C-alpha cells in the first residue's frame, strides 16, 4: 500500500518514514531528499530547483509530478512505498490519484502529523545546527510555513472529501512514542500489504 506522511516542516515525518521503512523494508520516497541529491549532483534539475528550495518555496507541480512518476515506476515501489513530502498541493494529489489508478494502486492511509508551530520552529533551529540544510534558516522556515498553510494543508481536505483514510498522529511526542502511534494505526495490517 501507499502511505503518505503529511505535515508541516519539522513535524518529524522524515524521521518516522526512515524508521518505518527500515522496519518493514519499504522504500522511503522523500521528494525533498531526491531534490537535494539532484542539487548535490549539479544536474539540470538540481540547478533549476536549488534557488527555490533555498528560499523555502515549492517546486512547480509539473516538475514534481515527473519526478514522482519516474520513482513510482521503479520495481521496488511495486510492493508499496512511504511517501514523504509528496503531494504538497491539491493538483499534485490529483495527479497522484490518476497515476495510481493507472497502475492499479491505492493510497492506504494518510498520516497527518500534528505539531504546534512553536515546537516546529524549535526543531528546525536545532536541525540547522546539525544538518546545515540550505532551507533551515529562520527566513526560509517562515516561507515554508506560509506555503504549507496556503497550498499543502488543503490536501488533507481533498483526501477527506474523497474518502481516503486520514489518521492524525500526535507528532509532539518523543520519537519512539510517535512510532508506536503509527504502528497502532497500521494495526495488524502491514504497510507493505494490500489495502483491506
The footprint of ligand AMP on this chain (CB under 6 A) covers a number of residues equal to: 18
Residues 19, 29, 107, 135: which binds ligand AMP (CB under 6 A)? 135
Residues 4, 20, 39, 59: which binds ligand AMP (CB under 6 A)? 59
What span, in angstroms and rounded, lies between the C-alpha atoms of 43 and 45?
Answer: 5
Residues 2, 5, 20, 58: which binds ligand AMP (CB under 6 A)? 58
Query: Is 52 a residue that touches ligand AMP (CB under 6 A)?
Result: yes
DSSP state of 153: T
- Answer for the pair 179, 19: CB distance below 8 angstroms, yes or no: yes
- Answer for the pair 92, 61: CB distance below 8 angstroms, yes or no: yes
Residues 32, 80, 171, 191: which binds ligand AMP (CB under 6 A)? 32
Residues 90 to 129 in contact with ligand AMP, rule: CB under 6 A: 92
Query: Is 19 a residue that touches ligand AMP (CB under 6 A)?
Result: no
Query: Is 155 a residue that touches ligand AMP (CB under 6 A)?
Result: no
Residues 28, 105, 123, 144: which binds ligand AMP (CB under 6 A)? 144
DSSP state of 115: -
Q: Is the peptide bond before 182 cis (omega within 30 degrees of 0)?
A: no
Query: Is 4 a residue that touches ligand AMP (CB under 6 A)?
Result: no
- Answer for the pair 122, 92: CB distance below 8 angstroms, yes or no: no
In the Cβ-directed half-sphere of 43, how many Cα atoms lie within 13 Å?
10
For residue 117, the tally of other CB atoms under 10 A from its CB is: 13
* Interface stretch with ligand AMP, choices 21-29, 57-65, 158-166, 174-182 (CB under 6 A): 57-65
| Complex with ligand AMP: residue 62 or 184, whichever CB lies closer | 62
Phi/psi at 112 (nearest 5 deg)? -105, 110
Q: Which single residue is written with the C-alpha cell 546545515?
A: 132
Residue whose C-beta lies closest to ligand AMP: 32
Please name the helix (run of DSSP H) or strand (run of DSSP E) that holds residue 111, with its range, or none.
strand 107-114
Residues that bind ligand AMP (CB under 6 A): 9, 31-32, 35, 52-53, 56-59, 64, 85-88, 92, 135, 144
Amino acid at each position: 500500500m501507499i502511505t503518505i506522511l503529511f505535515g508541516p516542516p519539522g513535524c518529524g515525518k522524515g524521521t518516522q518514514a526512515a524508521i518505518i521503512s527500515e522496519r518493514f523494508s519499504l522504500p522511503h520516497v522523500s521528494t525533498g531528499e531526491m531534490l537535494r541529491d539532484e542539487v548535490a549532483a549539479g544536474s539540470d534539475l538540481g540547478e533549476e530547483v536549488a534557488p527555490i528550495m533555498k528560499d523555502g518555496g515549492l517546486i512547480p507541480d509539473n516538475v514534481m509530478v515527473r519526478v514522482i512518476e519516474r520513482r513510482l515506476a521503479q520495481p521496488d515501489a511495486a510492493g508499496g512505498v512511504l511517501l514523504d513530502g509528496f503531494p504538497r498541493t491539491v493538483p499534485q494529489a490529483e495527479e497522484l490519484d490518476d497515476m495510481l489508478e493507472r497502475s492499479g494502486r491505492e493510497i492506504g492511509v494518510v498520516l497527518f502529523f500534528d505539531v504546534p508551530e512553536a515546537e516546529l520552529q524549535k526543531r528546525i533551529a536545532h536541525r540547522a545546527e546539525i544538518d546545515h540544510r540550505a532551507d533551515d534558516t529562520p527566513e526560509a522556515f517562515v516561507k515554508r510555513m506560509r506555503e504549507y498553510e496556503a497550498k499543502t494543508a488543503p490536501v488533507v481536505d481533498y483526501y477527506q472529501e474523497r474518502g481516503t483514510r486520514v489518521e492524525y498522529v500526535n507528532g509532539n511526542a518523543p520519537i519512539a512514542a510517535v512510532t508506536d502511534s503509527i504502528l497502532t494505526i497500521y494495526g495488524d495490517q502491514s504497510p507493505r500489504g494490500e489495502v483491506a
